[in-house]
Chains A and B, each alone.
Chain A
Amino acid sequence: MSYLNVPRLTFSGDFISDVSTVNNDTQHYNNSTFQSKYQKPKTEIAANGWWNPEGGATFGFQDCHVKQIIGEDGTSTSDPLLDDIIGQIVCGAEGRNSGKMVDLDPQQQMVSQLWGVTFRILTAKNELLLEGKIDPTGFRNLQMRQQTGGKVNGQPFGGTWTSVIEDVVWGDLAHSSPFLMALKSKTQENKLSINLNAFGYYYNHAKDGRFSLGRILGGLGPWFTNEPKLFAPARRLYGIIGDAPNDNPKTQQPIFFGASNFLFDKKNARLSIDLGSSFPISDSMGNISLNTNLVLAVSKKSITFSASDSINLVTGNDVLFIGEVEYEKGADWINTTSAILDFNNLSNDVVSALEDNQLLLLGRASINNMYSIIAREAIDGIVIRADNFVQRLDTNQTNEVRLYAYQFGVPLQNKNITITQEPPTAVSPKKDNQPPICDIPGNNYPAAGLTFDTTIVTDNNGLAILKLTGNSINCPREYLDGQIYTLDYQLTNVPIDAASGSVMPDNFIAIHLRDHYEIPNTPVWSDIKPTMIQFANLYPIMSKFFIDFSDPDALIAKKDLLIFAFDRDIHDPIYMPVTRDLSENKRLTILKWLNNPIIDEQIVLSTEKKVVDANLAEELLQAKATPLTDYQKQLKDAVRAKNGSNFSSPEIKNLFEF
């Protein structure tokens, strides 16, 4: 079961994510209202092109090393004398780009995906031990990490990428590592399970020079057939101390230990928990200053508290203790262990209780035999998640979304899952003399853009397939291609656990449905001009240093290189567009034009089509009258918080000290 299984290794280090930020602002997509200042960095008084307008979307591992291995018996070592793998280098591709990190859309920035990332482990002499490709994956489990807020680095949240490494190649020297040989023999289909807990990302040009860097705590373990690829089929622990997400973000007390994965291995009487996604840290480098004695226990009764700022207590009599979370202050412990802990040789009582009772993360209270509940397992142990939850969809295309349901880590068979489409949200009208400079479209309209079954059923592996078909839509967002839709899912008649998703909801599918577009027989410049001008506006690094996409002659002069880039496989980091946001037909139209570039005389002032569809107008009116759903409110707040606006992250010195 996933990276939490054994044999497992941990690694840690930095990641670089040089994302471009002009495209973080929806209004910047409007060619007719775009201003050149949107390509400049933000200032004290102006948002401009945000914090990294000249970003190139590069994602890569930097200065990452293997720190620890956990063997089949659940014991760990970080001694390089015991296995050659310890201390080796974790890095990206050789001789090619390291990968890209991209948003799905400016109106869905909360599922940023890694594309084209190669994962390698090398010796210090550059000899290959292991190499494979990370299946594209969007981040999840966004949660508060930094007790000091984002003052230094600008981003106090952390997030998690989980995926599989495919087409694994084992280097000749892998034989010198018993660990790697054990991993190779245990994993299936030549895939590995990888988890990257990221935090401490820098928006700010801080004195420590870490702009556009963040920290990664990695876990790598075997992958098994019939398991999800893009999340761990683990049990989940949710933080419940702090304010619920939809409270006023300006005064909100954040939830720490928001979401953590754990694996209960009954056969081996072992509990493995990953606190690397959630452990509170005092700064962007992962230093720990927590003072609380943390204890793991199994609850004897069902615990259903949601997040609140009042403390919920249990007595020692109501739980079975598993053990102390033996963390250490400073940064060494978290960087060595990735904050993944294994509790071996669980007692028979604990083993038996863990099968169908909730795990709790407790803080030792000052009152005798009383404990504060910092985090509790999902109610009834139910975890349901969409695997490939980020979808790009063209007209008449049908994608299969895999949803998995588990209870206490065991697949839930033959259960109904209900799928619901979020209702349309309203257009935010433009304002005079302040942003937005143009109307900001709403989402989820036209409602008929998607076709799918509203009820699907799980199979023996807990898997249910959602067939999702994109219908023809015609510029509902006017200046932005296609539409962003969100689907929610839950076990039929089982409410979503209110403690899940401390910042963003856990259970949603994010979809970019592209506009219907037919490839012209002989495309002319005005066919692709709006798209190319948008590129030129949104990616100043290209227009400044390489090519002005708005100039057809410049494109023609470099057409060989552009054809090369627009013709790559979507998994190739060189693929254009980097953001992977064009419909297939628009991409093919650009290619067709590059192969036979015709510059027509037609002057196109604006190709943005006005919404004329009567039904759509009706939907938009309704949207205006409809309050946001919980998901929509949470998304809105989360985006603002992620981007550092309208959000306070005060320094919290005495976390869990009551």
Chain B
Amino acid sequence: MLKISPKFVNAVINAEKLEDLFPLLQNAIELEHATIPPYLTALFSFKPNTETAIRSVIHSIVIEEMLHMSIAANILNALGGEPHISNPNFVPDYPTHLPMGISKGLIVGIEKYSPDLVKNVFMEIEEPEDPLDLSKSFKANALPTFRTIGEFYQAIQQKIEEIAPEILPGDPKRQVTSNFFDSNLLYPIHTKEDAINAINIIIEQGEGTSTSPVDEEGEIAHYYRFQELYLRKKLVIDPNAPHGYSYSGPAIPFDANNVQPMFPNTKSHMLPEGSEERRQVDIFNNSYSDLLNGLHRTFNGEPDYINNTIGVMFDLRLTCQKLAETPFPGKEGYTIGPTYEFITTA
């Protein structure tokens, strides 16, 4: 899992009242969100109707990041806080460190799909505390000067256990659920136990358990799913392997020609003012900002608003895919990447 600055874990440990956890859960929401644009970009960088197998892996992971973001927001609401989702500070200025990241750590950008991106960025984001060595090419490495996001979540769990009342104080009407998520995964958080179980979902989906690459539902954790893409082999049950799984399943084909040549970390200012391309990028930014506005409403007392945001997500996707096949003016051989810039007003 992502290495983060120890000060955040310490802040959780030192918390004395629920209010002290609010900014830390806000950080968690921001972190979960910050992984979504890079994953979505890779997902939508493929030419239409190609690389279905790879897309379905990334899709499954990005959907779970959305789930994690929702869970973190539900917990913050359950504790009595208010998620802040629609403001410029919520959005990372890619390429950048992820929220809570350490100063010399991983830099995450907005780039087209490549196996190197998966290995150098996505697997780094999702790396467990002690990765299981399911392939010969990866070694466990523990660096004591860092804490991990897993430890951060565990600390929050412990702190909630320690200081929260059995019935959490937040307004139950602010809890968000959706028909698009299994109600065992996204459920209203009313009690301490609900919160603790929900955090387990985040941790396990991200990194598996300490003895297996799958979580308690038998689902392969993100790190190992990304590793499938890098090794281009499915992870399958293998009784002969040390942890019961090995990358000995069917090959996952990949043809680099199926990826659109998106310019990395495209920014709106790179496109000529007044050009049709610039307008498309502005439309993308507007949709993205508007999506965050809609999610802000959703997690601030209008849980049914989630349904309205689905259409914006859809538009965002289509705009991204159209951009991905639009030549980048002045950058020979490149197409335009999604920009993920927050616009204050429509």
- Where the two chains meet, the residues of A that have a C-beta atom closer than 8 Å to any C-beta of B are 16, 54, 56, 58, 61-62, 89, 91-97, 122, 124-126, 205, 208-211, 213, 541, 544-546, 548, 560-561, 564, 573-574
Contact = CB atoms under 8 A, between A and B. Distances in A.
B47 to A, nearest CB: 10
Nearest to B291: A95
B305 interface: yes
Contacts of B291: 95
Contact of A545 (B290, B312, B318, B345): B318
6 contacts: A94-B290, A95-B297, A96-B294, A209-B276, A546-B317, A561-B310
Contacts of A124: 345
Nearest to B309: A95
Contacts, number: 88
Determine the interface band of chain B, counting residues with CB < 8 A from chain A: 35 or more
A61 B345 CA distance: 12
Contacts of B307: 564, 574
B346 A209 contact: no
Contact of B344 (A95, A126, A560): A126
Contacts of B183: none
Interface in B170-195: 179-180
Given A92-B346, A95-B294, A545 B310 contact: no
B344 to A, nearest CB: 6
Given A205-B276, A560-B179, A544 B293 contact: no
Nearest to A95: B294
A122 B308 contact: no
B275 interface: yes
A210 B305 CA distance: 32
Ranked 7 nearest A-B pairs via Cβ: A95-B294, A96-B308, A91-B346, A574-B311, A97-B311, A209-B276, A95-B293
B315 A545 contact: no
Contacts of B290: 93-96
B291 to A, nearest CB: 7
B44 to A, nearest CB: 9
Interface string B333-346: 00000000000111
Contacts of B298: 95
Interface of B: 48-49, 179-180, 274-279, 283, 290-298, 305, 307-312, 314-315, 317-318, 321-322, 344-346
A122 B346 contact: yes
B135 to A, nearest CB: 30
B285 to A, nearest CB: 12
Contacts of A544: 48-49
Given A58-B315, A545-B321, A209 B345 contact: no
Nearest to A64: B346
Contacts of A211: 276, 279
Contact of A95 (B275, B277, B312, B345): B312
Contacts of A205: 276
Nearest to A90: B346
A56 B315 CA distance: 9
Given A54-B322, A545-B317, A545-B318, 15 more contacts: A92-B346, A95-B290, A95-B296, A95-B309, A96-B290, A96-B294, A96-B312, A97-B311, A124-B345, A209-B278, A546-B314, A564-B179, A564-B180, A574-B307, A574-B314
A3 B195 CA distance: 53
A89 B345 CA distance: 8
Contacts of B312: 95-97
B310 A560 contact: no
Contacts of B321: 545
A573 B287 CA distance: 14
A227 to B, nearest CB: 30
Contacts of A213: 279
A126 B305 contact: no
A94 B318 contact: no
Contacts of A16: 283
Nearest to A118: B308
Contacts of B309: 95-96
Most chain B C-beta atoms within 10 Å of own C-beta, residue among A89, A94, A124, A561: A94
Contacts of A209: 274-279
A517 B333 CA distance: 52
B118 to A, nearest CB: 23
A89 B321 CA distance: 29
A95 B305 contact: yes
A97 B345 contact: no
Most chain B C-beta atoms within 10 Å of own C-beta, residue among A56, A125, A548: A56
A126 B345 contact: yes
A52 B311 CA distance: 21
B329 to A, nearest CB: 11
